[in-house]
Amino acid sequence: MSNQAQLLEAVTQAQAGNWDAAHNIAQDYSDSTANWIHAVLHKIEGDTWNSKYWYARTGGHQYEDYGPDVAAELVAIQQWLNTAAAQ
């Protein structure tokens, strides 16, 4: 995954509460993982409609998968990116 470092940075920024920085990174990519990050960011923002739009572009993740626990979801994305890089 060529954008793994950038997407990990987006997750780190989101975890630090830097929504704009995370969003700027995520919207630069269109793969399913970037779309997942984008979806979570809009969930954080409280924009349910937009969040569900991006979840529909993730290839299987759903808005309801983690409920309101965006911290756990961001950790899951981080683990996914690290696992993908190790393969």
User: Average of pLDDT values for 46-57?
Assistant: 97
Task: State pTM to two decimals.
Answer: 0.94
Please check the confidence at residue 87 and state whether its pLDDT lies above 90.
no
**Can you give the residue ranges of every domain in the chain?**
4-86
Q: Is 3 helix (H, G, I), strand (E, B) or coil?
A: coil
Instruction: Give 24-40 pLDDT, tens digit per residue.
Output: 999 999 999 999 999 99
Tell me, what's the pLDDT at 86? 67
CA dihedral 45, 48, 53, 57 (to 10 degrees): 70
Instruction: Give 66-78 pLDDT, tens digit per residue.
Output: 999 999 999 999 9
